[in-house]
Amino acid sequence: MIPIYEADRLEDLPLFDRAPQAEEDVGAAVDAILADVRARGDAALREYTRRFNGADLTCFEVTEGEMEAAWDRVDEDFRETLRRSADNIRRFHEAQVHQSFVLTDQPGVVLGQRYTPIEKVGVCVPGSPVAFPSTILMNVIPAKIAGVREIVVVTPPDQAGAISPEALAAAKIAGADRVFKLGGAQAVAALAYGTESVPKVDKIVGPGGVFVAAAKRKVFGQVAIDMIAGPSEILVVADGKTNPAWAAADLLSQAEHDTHAAAVLVTDSRPLAEAVQKEVERQLMDLPRRDIAQKSLEANGKILVTKDLAAAVEAANRIAPEHLELCVDDPFALLPLVKNAGSVFLGRHTPEALGDYFAGPNHTLPTGGTARFSSPLSVDDFVKKSQFIYYTREALNEATPRIADFAEREGLHGHAQSALSRTEEKGE
């Protein structure tokens, strides 16, 4: 049974274990996989795909024929769901696009900043129990909007060497350029180093299990990464008017993800806390992934009772959850108090699942308390900024004494001379 705690003192809150997934336990294995793929390329990929996925593949890339066949196998109703979801995601992320700028407010000086897309991006998509179409939409569409030239999706095949038709339909609608039947650390290695068939990319994004997380951390520097995604989390702030069945369902929606997932309710109502506790037990009985959800709740499930809703939000800020629901009468009054959360769901009719699949904001979010300093995946993750500077001779002559003095105070005579030499030079 999910425990209830009186949270009188925030410093004494019983928080769940926020340590990263046990990457250290798989570190040596991941090192070996990375080195092997780097050395042997596709041959290593075939071995690992056979060993970990049970699929014997000669070609990893999904063919155009496979894409068309998958499209035909998906019913039109779900295709329309994918289209509408993609439209919502596209609309939200198009609003994130930044504009380059130029400053010319000083005589003889031009300053500016340019946004340019990353050239090649790899998208990792988990395959448990099947490849997630939602993850494909959420990662590919912002990259497309940013102008990424080549977007490569990797996701593990089933034992027959296939990827779900729904996932491939999502890849088609999102605009992925290439899809490969690869998963785990070996997929990360292929994207980071390149193989005979898999292109080397500049950045790797997308969630995954502990092997993917460890591999992403280890190849960072060789390529860029978005974040190290940990187990899923939800924190529901609810008042006494909240339907306990709804709150319980929302907690279970994350608990069913993973035995390491975390589900927390924070409320100012003891009766609601007790009602949700009972409702969670009742709904667990009918949940197909009951065993996973139960282990998750036993390890990281909690109900905290605070003196008021302001204290509830303060507790949420301290926990910094991936998903934060404000199931209260006036969620917009509490929203300004929220400092640390990946995505905030406002009101009683905005379940976390809405954000996972349909609303438009990204569902790739900071976990493990990293919402204190990290942001959801966005168009910003697929562009880079560069600056430019232009000075006329006259403008440089005016600035040079200060430049040279600054450099000399830092002990860098050569820096000083690079500016001074131009004031002594007669030519252009």
**pLDDT range class, residue 16, cuts 50, 70, 90:** low
Q: Is 323 a catalytic residue?
A: yes
Residue type, 178: R
Q: Identical fold at 23-225 and 230-373?
A: yes
274-323: pLDDT as tens digits: 999 999 999 999 999 999 999 999 999 999 999 999 999 999 999 999 99
Q: In what order do the strands lie in the sheet with 323-327?
A: 4-6, 302-305, 262-267, 233-238, 323-327, 343-346
CB 242 within 8 A of CB 348: yes
- Tell me the β-bridge partners of 133: none
Could you say which of 257, 260, 323, 363 is catalytic?
323
Distance between CA atoms of residues 299 and 3, nearest Å: 10
Mean pLDDT, residues 108-116? 98
Look at the chain and count its residues.
Answer: 428
Distance between CA atoms of residues 418 and 413, nearest Å: 9
23-225 falls under which CATH superfamily? Nitrogenase molybdenum iron protein domain (3.40.50.1980)
Q: Which of 304, 340, 409, 271 is nearest to 16 (CA)?
A: 304
238-262: pLDDT as tens digits: 999 999 999 999 999 999 998 889 9
CB 212 within 8 A of CB 192: no
Could you say which of 23, 322, 325, 352 is catalytic?
322
pTM: 0.93
CB 136 within 8 A of CB 142: no
Residue ranges of the domains in the chain?
Answer: 23-225, 230-373, 393-424
Question: Which backbone phi and psi does 94 adopt, to 5 degrees?
Answer: -65, -30
Level-2 CATH architecture, domain 230-373: 3-Layer(aba) Sandwich (3.40)
Residue type, 63: T
- Tell me the β-bridge partners of 102: 112
Distance between CA atoms of residues 364 and 204, nearest Å: 13
Q: Is 233 a catalytic residue?
A: no
369-426: pLDDT as tens digits: 999 999 999 999 999 999 999 999 999 999 999 999 999 999 999 999 999 999 876 5
200-231: pLDDT as tens digits: 999 999 999 899 999 999 999 999 999 998 88
